[in-house]
Structure 1
Amino acid sequence: MTIVYSDSAYFPSARSLSSHTAERVQSRAVGPDVLRSLAILLVMLVHLPIEATPSMLVGVRNYAWVGVDIFFVLSGFLIGTQLFKEISRTGGVDLKSFYLRRAFRIFPAFFIVLGLYAIFPILRDAPTMQSIWSFATFTVNFNFDPRVGRAFTQAWSLCVEEHFYLVLPLLVLLLHRRISMRWTLLIAAAMVIAGMILRYTIWENQIGVLVDADKLRDAFAVYLRDVYYPTYTRLDGLMFGVILAAARFFKPELCKRYAPARVALPIGVGLVAAALVLFSIRGPLAGTNLFLVFQAQLGSVAGFPLISIGIALILGAMLDLEHVLKRWPVPGAMVVATLSYSLYLTHKSAFHIDRLIFGEANLQGGSGFVVYLVTSFAAAVVLWFCVERTFLLLRDRVLSPSK
């Protein structure tokens, strides 16, 4: 899971913030922070061993993978909005500035953690790991077989995000004067249908055969490798985030007329709930303990776009309700959102170290959950202050609009 990775991820209390950064902190929206906080907490929950999960959260854990889809929609919306504003203001996209900003935001913390994984195998959350080269080139999500290597698996979603960051600015630059909103929606619809057909074909030809042969472990591994991890099967969330950004930026009057908060919020929640129902229909895998959260064929084909549309509608509604959210803020949401990228990179290794120090038997239920949260946040704070914040401030100085 990506997460990620807003340009406004700063603690407002940091004394060394520039005035430009301080203004950005004050103007950050509450709604995206709440969703980002929820997303990273769900990602952390899904990676927590079930024996260390409080009983009241076991049912939530089964569907906590939705946190990744929230991140994808957020990234699509935030980056799309940034690009649309720039191209509307200047008529183009400064590709060098865009890619440098993304590099300052993502590379330092990622490569520090990757280097620690490479140099100190004791930090790895699993005995086996894919090649360091595949992580370093952000290609690990292609042919990512968990039977070969399982450490640092959360990096698959960052790879999807990186591919998105690489391609979207080029598409916006090339197409913004050539296609209308209608053509954009038609292309998006075609991409959704193509993704559904692709996932269906993969399931029928590769996964279904293994399920029928009762090779469920292999079926789950192939599902992750060929359906869940690859960029080309997980574009729904990013795409609907971009569509939301385009609609709100170029057609705000239509959004107000046809998707006000009172309409978008219940429909969005309903679509996410409907998608989760599809994922809960496990078909031939029902009743197997190993695959309680296994996404069945129907969910894998239609569930991802439904969830993405639902989350996009919820995000749009929360943006419209910003005045309400500012009066009734969620305690700690901004801090958790600020730490989300560092939490994403370190949480699995943090719990692995917890097990080495305290012993797995002492990390059961509520106590294990508390230790997991405390150590994960401690590691994230260290990474944020020592690496993330340093390079974000450096980025502001290097890429300051005044220079």
Structure 2
Amino acid sequence: MGIMSIQSIQGASAPLRPRRFAPKTGGDSKFRPEIQALRALAVTAVLLYHLWPKTFSGGYIGVDVFLVISGYLISAHIQREIQSTGTFRFRRFYMRRVRRLLPAALLVLAVVAVVTILLIPMTYWKDWLGQVVSSLFYVENWYLALSSTDYLAASANASPVQHFWSLSLEEQFYLLWPIWLVFGLWALSKTGLSRRNQPIWTIGIALIASLGYSIWFTNVSAAEAYFVTPTRIWEFAAGGIAAAIGLRIRNRFVAGLASWCGLAVIAACVITLSGATPFPGWIALIPVASTLLVIAAGVPAQWWSTQWLIRFRITQWLGAISYSLYLWHWPLIVIIPVIAGSPLTGPQRLGLIALSAAAGWASKRYVEDRFRQTPNFAAGAKPVRRALVGLRVALIGSIAVAAVALPGLAATTQRSSEAEIALADAQASDFLCLGWNAAQPGCAPAANTSSVIPDPIIAQRDVATVDCAQRGARTKLLTCEFGSKGDNAVSVVLAGDSHAGQWLPALENIALARNWKITTLLKTGCRLTQAPAGTLAVDANCALWNQSAQDWIMSHTPDLVFVSGRSSSADGIPTAEVDLRAQANGIANAWRSVTANGSSLIALAETPQPVVGGLTDPGACVLAHDQSQCTFREGLETSDPQPLAAEMVPGVSLIDLSDEFCIDGYCPAVVGSILVYADNNHTTASFMQTLTVPLGRALTDF
């Protein structure tokens, strides 16, 4: 597909006449300082969000700003070429995208792959290298959507190339958008629609269809909707519509106000939106419309306008390096703490900003510019030569990345298969003389070897209730049933967050022995509480889910309710005493409602967390060191609000099995050849299953 003649598509009866798609003033072919400033704002928002997700909780909207800019510039470019030549050269368009974007992206992927193999524990390889490969083919957004990743949950397990989801989205847009525009114009030319309105209708159809789907799917599944292409096309199309109608504010005073308003609203979104906001959906209209306001305003000339901010040298410099800065900042944020074995401190985060900017500048100067300006790529070079060189660069770079990533993936896949077999064998033997059972009479002491179950490289898959816990911004109540199926079974509920759900393997064994039917009411990051939304760890979605969960308990009146919840923040910082008491009050209020309704309630005290004790990656530690080095000091006594809540609600029982995890305050990562922790705060289902006996003893009276 080389040169496509619009005149030939439309037929001889409809000769092509030049028409204006872009605004007269400024011209989209000229440098646009306001667009460069928007790029600077967008990349800054994303960088701040990734470094301080709680403070700049809505910084992810920087991506939406980028999407609108891309839609505006690419649509204007396509329309301008059709206007001036009557043709569109697909091959030239795609080769320009290759030389503009691919070299720097391939370099980042290659560096991440090499660093992963050389410096990163094998526990990370499968996910990281798998995402390197998906990013190589620009399908990372679909990889994350299909693997149910929740980007806005700020997961500690994110890969260093997870940010390629937006680049994948853009590449898919670059591939499909020219085809849609060219053939859309051809199709509409047959309808008698005026040529001025043909591009508007072509883009508008895509915008309306995508926006409608985005609103619907965000309500259905926000985590997946965040990544998939159909929910995002409308943001590109919004920029395309602006280019098609020549969006421009002519009144200087209005333009000055509009520019300030647009920038201010974008900045406000960075502060006010959060991971609890259903996104993209209709809410994304706010940053999208604000971006269009800034574009339409241009560079206002008044002394009080935004022109000084837009033309500020640092602003323009950040805009110029924004692509490379975006590429490099996230791998640095993810990889450095893994290599160091500790979270980033405040000063380190500031230093990482400088390091990211330096890497972005170097990449822009020595990679981006080099490939754009090399004679083989320059505009004067022969098209065929440019195409061949571009394809050669893409092919060699892709092969180099694949040559590093694929063998690593193969090695970890083989080891994972062997680990799954070993885990299945241990499960078949009911973990005889393994884990907690290893200390029982008749069991020989386990040798301190590097062989543990589950193997650390599959430990994160050895968790309970993955498919039964609601996630992210969803509020719909999910219920799953375990244990006895008999009609006369004792009705039992397990309610809370993932730290409540991790008790299920032991509880299910007890349920089968005692004729219990367990129903799970679980949501990631959301314990059972009546604390109002917006306080502590309770966002609006958690509050809505809590209402549904407590309504279910009230209407079903189970015989017994188990509750638990995480007692520290994601970075392992224990809860402050004043917040601890506030949390306990909200929890106690929920418990009172349950007990007043006739159900017995048992709180399961929080399990010791490695991240609180300074062990950031138990699995990686076990792989790299002797097991004896992989211990941490227990530090949860002042972090769990449940003991305080239990004192407030008569009749509530509190079960604390911390002594089964720790000896004299020190907690090992491996007990009886069983890996205790799936990550830095959750237990493995395998170890929890070996706690069936001690938990059963604690439940003797129930």
Same fold per TM (> 0.5)?
A: yes
Does the 8 Å CA contact 1:116/1:123 hold for their aligned counterparts?
no
Q: Alignment RMSD, CA only?
A: 3.6
Q: Which amino acid aligns with 2:217?
A: I
What displacement does 1:318 show? 2.8
1:203, 1:340 → 2: CA distance?
28
Does the 8 Å CA contact 1:81/1:245 hold for their aligned counterparts?
yes
What displacement does 1:161 show? 0.7
* Structure 1 counterpart of 2:133: 133
Matches within 5 A, 1:106-117: 106-117=101-112
5+ residue gaps, structure 1, are 1-25, 51-57, 208-222, 281-291
What displacement does 1:227 show? 0.6
* Structure 2 counterpart of 1:304: 284
Q: Does 1:163 align with 2:163?
A: no
Q: Which amino acid aligns with 2:368?
A: E
- Count of equivalent residues: 332
Give the 3 Å change call, closer, same or farther, for CA 266–184 of structure 1 in structure 2.
farther
- 1:172 pairs with 161, 181, 185, which one? 181
Give the 3 Å change call, closer, same or farther, for CA 388–322 of structure 1 in structure 2.
farther
Give the 3 Å change call, closer, same or farther, for CA 104–400 of structure 1 in structure 2.
same
* Structure 2 counterpart of 1:211: none
* Structure 1 counterpart of 2:598: none
* Structure 1 counterpart of 2:209: 194
Give the stretch that moved more between structures: 38-47 or 264-273.
Answer: 264-273
Does the 8 Å CA contact 1:275/1:304 hold for their aligned counterparts?
no
More strand by share: 2
1:384, 1:86 → 2: CA distance?
27
What displacement does 1:62 show? 0.8
Give the stretch that moved more between structures: 336-345 or 325-334.
Answer: 325-334
For residues 199-258 of structure 1, the C-alpha deviation after alignment (integer angstroms, 9 at most, x for no partner) is 4543554x4xxxxxxxxxxxxxxx33x21011111123211111111121xx76xx5379
- 2:237 pairs with 226, 236, 239, which one? 239
Give the 3 Å change call, closer, same or farther, for CA 380–236 of structure 1 in structure 2.
same
1:182, 1:108 → 2: CA distance?
38
What displacement does 1:183 show? 5.5
- 1:400 pairs with 373, 379, 382, which one? 379
Give the 3 Å change call, closer, same or farther, for CA 268–124 of structure 1 in structure 2.
farther
* Structure 1 counterpart of 2:332: 350
Q: Does 1:150 align with 2:153?
A: no
What displacement does 1:141 show? 0.8
Q: Which amino acid aligns with 1:364?
A: T
- 1:44 pairs with 37, 43, 47, which one? 47
Q: Which amino acid aligns with 1:135?
A: S
What displacement does 1:186 show? 5.1
Q: Which amino acid aligns with 2:277?
A: Q
SS at match of 1:256: coil
Does the 8 Å CA contact 2:103/2:368 hold for their aligned counterparts?
yes
* Structure 1 counterpart of 2:351: 371
Q: Does 1:73 align with 2:68?
A: yes
Give the 3 Å change call, closer, same or farther, for CA 182–153 of structure 1 in structure 2.
same
Q: Which amino acid aligns with 1:139?
A: V
1:62, 1:369 → 2: CA distance?
16
SS at match of 2:296: helix
SS at match of 1:342: helix
What displacement does 1:140 show? 1.6
The TM-score normalised by the length of structure 2 is 0.42
Q: Which amino acid aligns with 2:37?
A: V
Does the 8 Å CA contact 2:71/2:237 hold for their aligned counterparts?
yes
2:64, 2:103 → 1: CA distance?
24
* Structure 2 counterpart of 1:333: 315
2:308, 2:44 → 1: CA distance?
23
Does the 8 Å CA contact 2:65/2:291 hold for their aligned counterparts?
yes
1:359, 1:110 → 2: CA distance?
27
Does the 8 Å CA contact 2:260/2:306 hold for their aligned counterparts?
no
Does the 8 Å CA contact 1:339/1:380 hold for their aligned counterparts?
yes
Q: Which amino acid aligns with 2:283?
A: G
Give the 3 Å change call, closer, same or farther, for CA 295–123 of structure 1 in structure 2.
farther
What displacement does 1:114 show? 1.0
- 1:294 pairs with 276, 279, 282, which one? 276
SS at match of 2:140: coil
The structure whose Rg is larger is: 2
Q: Does 1:82 align with 2:82?
A: no
Does the 8 Å CA contact 1:236/1:308 hold for their aligned counterparts?
no
Does the 8 Å CA contact 2:211/2:234 hold for their aligned counterparts?
no
2:252, 2:169 → 1: CA distance?
31
1:150, 1:332 → 2: CA distance?
30
For residues 291-338 of structure 1, the C-alpha deviation after alignment (integer angstroms, 9 at most, x for no partner) is x52223xx5431123431221122211355599766662231222112
Of structures 1 and 2, the one scoring higher in RCO (CA 8 A, sep 6+) is 1
Give the stretch that moved more between structures: 171-180 or 79-88.
Answer: 171-180
Does the 8 Å CA contact 2:200/2:245 hold for their aligned counterparts?
no
2:217, 2:307 → 1: CA distance?
45
2:94, 2:312 → 1: CA distance?
33
Give the 3 Å change call, closer, same or farther, for CA 123–167 of structure 1 in structure 2.
farther
Q: Which amino acid aligns with 1:246?
A: A
2:327, 2:161 → 1: CA distance?
8
Matches within 5 A, 1:192-231: 192-205=207-220, 207=221, 223-224=222-223, 226-231=224-229
Does the 8 Å CA contact 1:73/1:239 hold for their aligned counterparts?
yes
Q: Which amino acid aligns with 1:390?
A: R
What displacement does 1:83 show? 1.7
5+ residue gaps, structure 2, are 1-28, 151-156, 383-702
Give the stretch that moved more between structures: 187-196 or 76-85.
Answer: 187-196
For residues 343-372 of structure 1, the C-alpha deviation after alignment (integer angstroms, 9 at most, x for no partner) is 1111012234543677646x433x233211
* Structure 1 counterpart of 2:656: none
* Structure 2 counterpart of 1:21: none
For residues 107-154 of structure 1, the C-alpha deviation after alignment (integer angstroms, 9 at most, x for no partner) is 111111112222220677993323443212111211413389633111
Q: Which amino acid aligns with 1:105?
A: R
What displacement does 1:48 show? 1.3
The TM-score normalised by the length of structure 1 is 0.70
For residues 172-213 of structure 1, the C-alpha deviation after alignment (integer angstroms, 9 at most, x for no partner) is 3233462545465556555444334434543554x4xxxxxx
2:196, 2:264 → 1: CA distance?
26
Give the 3 Å change call, closer, same or farther, for CA 314–156 of structure 1 in structure 2.
same
SS at match of 2:250: helix
SS at match of 2:312: coil
Residue identity over aligned pairs, in percent, reads: 24
